[in-house]
Structure 1
């Protein structure tokens, strides 16, 4: 028995609809009917990294970071393959740079998407405290 099951269907063209549990997502390689697969991967990575960042903070005795926002950007080569991902993390709470570095190190070990990607695509992360 699998831990995760999804179904992805394309009736025609380059758009597809993916079903994951009760949720449906349209993904389109042409970026006309939905985000591209690369955009979804970067957003998924950030969506996994953010709670890992919060857990890493809790493990470093920072239980309330307030609002946390990840601005992600990525580079692609001429074949539309991802070559680099960067996260700029903004934290509402005033957290010093050394502690933020410790939280990032811990989040790297917690985030399942980070673990699943090849090392050359691990996000280059910059975190900022007292950001809002």
Structure 2
């Protein structure tokens, strides 16, 4: 049994309707009915990094960082693949540069998306035709 299971369905065109547990998420490669997959990847990364940053702060005796915000940017190469991601993290609490660096380094070790974004992680793919 898997730890994570999702169902993604594309009836036609480039829109995919995803069921993730009790939640539905529409992703559209053309940006018409939802965000595109690259946008979702960057948002997912930021959404994972923020709580990791908060936990990293707690592990470094900063229990109340206050409001956190990430403004994320990504560059695409000529094939529209993500080639770079940048985060600007805004923290309500006043931290020294060393404290912010320590928390960031800890968050990198905690964030599951950060750990997953590596070349050797690729889907193991099988295809079943005439399935419907």
Q: State the TM-score, normalized to the length of structure 2.
A: 0.89
Determine helix, strand or coil for the equivalent of 1:54. Answer: helix
CA distance in 1, matches of 2:30, 2:69: 27
Aligned length in residues? 119
1:1-132 paired onto structure 2 within 5 Å: 1-118=1-118
**TM-aligned CA deviation for residue 115 of structure 1:** 0.2
Give a deviation string over 1:50-109, Cα, whole Å, max 9, x none. 000000000110000000000000000111100000000000011111100000000000
- Structure 2 gap ranges (5+): 120-132
**For the aligned residues, what is the CA RMSD?**
0.8
Q: Relative contact order (alpha carbons < 8 A, sep ≥ 6): 1 or 2 greater?
A: 1
Q: For structure 1, which runs of at least 5 residues remain unmatched after alignment? A: 120-132
Aligned to 2:70, what secondary structure does the other structure show? strand
CA distance in 2, matches of 1:25, 1:61: 36
Query: How does the TM-score come out when normalised to structure 1?
Result: 0.89
Moved over 3 A (4+): none
CA radius of gyration, larger in: 2
| d(CA) in 2 for partners of 1:92, 1:18 | 34
